[in-house]
Structure 1
Amino acid sequence: MPTVIEPKLISGNANLDLAKAIARRMSLYRGMNVGLVDARVERFNDQEIFVEVYENVRGEDMFIIQPTSNPANDNLMELLIMSDALRRSSAQRITAVIPYFGYARQDRRTKARTPITAKLVANMMVKAGIERVLTMDLHAAQIQGFFDIPVDNLYASPIFALDVHSQFRDSMDDLMVVSPDVGGVARARELAKRINAPLSIVDKRREKAGEVAEMTVIGDVSGKKCIIVDDICDTAGTLCKAAEVLLSHGATEVHAYITHGVLSGPAVERISNSVMKSLVITDSIPRSPEAQAAPNIRVVPTAPMFAQAILNIWNGTSVSSLFETDTLGPIYEGIL
């Protein structure tokens, strides 16, 4: 009788809390204990990364949970070295679960003599032995084409829609979804369709990276509770200024739903002092102590979605089914 190969999870140091939460959810779904493979991922004195896997993984279906967030280079190297260790230990298949895909903003040449680093990172992952990638809200959807292996890109908008229905159940007719720039219209439109709300755009013009020179609101936001939707919040300068501009145009409240809370530099202080009533992020990136203490920053979990996606990949069923509210709703029942 053939042996059933079970999915096995292993995690680096990038977001161990999320990895443990995914393991707990998988245990709940399967009715049996699913733990993280026992391994050590540490650094020598010269900061070289070393990985040792203590369990037998020969012939196993392995899932490495490792976002490549700050410090991006260290976390990326951990992922590559873990994959190499598993490949050399005869794992049957290696899937990289990357909740936040670092270097995704370098997806094209913006000027002469600049790299396309997202493509370079994709090449490195494939060479390291990774055979499938599971990620969430890639900054640019075309990055999936940088890989010569399957890439499953999950979306946070179904989770956000469930949260919006929970938080604004008494004022759904007053909501307006706002894209903070023209490039994010498709992402904002997706949430607007899910909650049946109108769409507005904040058109911004940059003088240089990290600075916004001018903002114009396209659409009537007067009397509306505005929900800004984006994939990444880095220094939060654009986000906080957009909130001010929306209020100046007659919005009654401004909230933000951002998938990846990078929150670098002065971001948390800016958000704490901003006119935004709330910023909702996912746990794709671990929060700093300052972000955890901020009263207007809230987190929605991604572990239920990732756990189900991993199980679907393992047993060969549809991952895109998780884009539907009817499928995702029961998974998040009692959580949001």
Structure 2
Amino acid sequence: MNTLIEPKIITGNSNPPLAKAISSRMSMLRGKPVSLIDARVERFNDGEIFVEVYENVRGEDMFILQSTSNPANDNLMELLIMADALRRSSADRITAVIPYFGYARQDRRTKARTPISAKLVANLLTQAGVERILTVDLHAAQIQGFFDIPVDNLYAAPVFALDVMHHFKDMSDVTVISPDVGGVARARELAKRIGADLAIVDKRRNNPGEIAEMTVIGDVTDRRCIIVDDICDTAGTLCKAAETLIEQGAKEVHSYITHGVLSGPAIERIEKSVMKQLVITDSIQISPEAAACSKIRTVPLAPMLAQATLNIANGTSVSSLFDEDTLGPLYQGTY
């Protein structure tokens, strides 16, 4: 089997800082420069997206870095058009590195006459020429089954575990919280990694988007609580859960969320909330408003994604990055 060892990266407009950080980290790991492919991704006056690749990519192992975050449709179209451009330029293999996979919350039919948009996006990516997917914390793990190509779903839990152990030191009074019953597996995974207790906030809704009641399952009295989830959108559930925990006797509340969508009133809610801090990754480029918020802190994904990209290029294990012992050396000096 031919081993591909010369990865090349192209990026759209969704998260250029992360793309640069990944290329810089890959250069350090390989001991030779890994620069971003020279290309332009721009829009015509009517909003059409146009891509032109200025370098020869024939026979190359190409990695497209693009989160399908807000504006989701524009970023998705950029990804599809970049893939088509590379395929028509005879790239050997095209891997889409999608730190935040948009439309993942539409993974099933919840009512009659509704779409399964995550499956549609999977079909579009495959038809555009993408041959492999690398992503982080899919909202629903079964989305991997929507693809007929390999999907590597990395987890933020090992990175969060390293960060928690660095900043919290003593774990004797720490409890990991799932903000809903559906996220228990994710919360349990972090709790197991850091040796902490687990509790659940059960929420009930009268209407969509309207939380009627929250109940804490477990004892959080005099505990430092860490809420764990994959997506923070408008932060309504997150802030309400933090209030409920404080009312139930928690000493302080922290939150670790993989994807900081932070739309609408999210930042204002977080600033006014009882949460001590919200830790997110840079899977989505952080806005100036979020960067200025005193309660929001970012942990980088570049060390993990750079190593995963090299492992895919060299045909070695990606699952080794599920372990904080493997990630620890990669994250030294990032705190």
Fold shared, TM-score > 0.5 on shorter chain: yes
What is the deviation of 1:172? 1.3
Map of 2:106 onto structure 1: 106
Matches of 2:102 and 2:206, distance apart in 1: 24
Map of 2:212 onto structure 1: 213
Q: How does 1:165-314 map to 2 (within 5 A)?
A: 165-169=165-169, 171-314=170-313
Note if 1:335 corresponds to 2:316. Answer: no
- What is the TM-score normalised by the length of structure 2? 0.98
SS of the equivalent of 1:37 reads: coil
Matches of 2:258 and 2:66, distance apart in 1: 16
Is the contact between residue 177 and residue 225 of structure 2 (CA under 8 Å) also seen in structure 1? yes
Q: Quick one: percent identity of the two aligned structures?
A: 77
SS of the equivalent of 2:207 reads: coil
Is the contact between residue 240 and residue 276 of structure 1 (CA under 8 Å) also seen in structure 2? yes
What is the deviation of 1:207? 2.3
Q: Deviations over 1:246-282 (max 9, x none)?
A: 0000000000000000000000000000000000000
SS of the equivalent of 1:221 reads: coil
Is the contact between residue 282 and residue 301 of structure 2 (CA under 8 Å) also seen in structure 1? yes
Is the contact between residue 178 and residue 228 of structure 2 (CA under 8 Å) also seen in structure 1? yes
Matches of 1:32 and 1:221, distance apart in 2: 50
Is the contact between residue 5 and residue 314 of structure 2 (CA under 8 Å) also seen in structure 1? no
Is the contact between residue 211 and residue 237 of structure 1 (CA under 8 Å) also seen in structure 2? no
- In structure 2, give the amino acid aligned to 1:318: S
Is the contact between residue 4 and residue 315 of structure 2 (CA under 8 Å) also seen in structure 1? no
- What is the TM-score normalised by the length of structure 1? 0.98
Is the contact between residue 109 and residue 115 of structure 1 (CA under 8 Å) also seen in structure 2? yes
SS of the equivalent of 1:152 reads: strand
Map of 2:77 onto structure 1: 77
- In structure 1, give the amino acid aligned to 2:75: N
What is the deviation of 1:333? 1.0
SS of the equivalent of 1:80 reads: helix
Is the contact between residue 14 and residue 68 of structure 2 (CA under 8 Å) also seen in structure 1? yes
Note if 1:128 corresponds to 2:125. Answer: no
- In structure 1, give the amino acid aligned to 2:307: Q
Tell which has more relative contact order, 1 or 2 (C-alpha 8 A, sep 6+).
2
Q: Deviations over 1:65-88 (max 9, x none)?
A: 000000000000000000000000
Map of 2:6 onto structure 1: 6
Matches of 1:216 and 1:144, distance apart in 2: 32
- In structure 2, give the amino acid aligned to 1:112: A
The size of the alignment, in residue pairs, is 334
Map of 2:20 onto structure 1: 20
Q: Which runs of 5+ in 2 are unaligned?
A: none
- In structure 1, give the amino acid aligned to 2:165: H
The 3 A distance-change label for structure 1 pair 307 and 4 is closer
Matches of 1:299 and 1:71, distance apart in 2: 21
- In structure 1, give the amino acid aligned to 2:162: L
What is the deviation of 1:208? 2.8
CA RMSD, Structure 1 to Structure 2 (Å): 1.0
Is the contact between residue 137 and residue 156 of structure 1 (CA under 8 Å) also seen in structure 2? yes
Matches of 1:39 and 1:207, distance apart in 2: 49
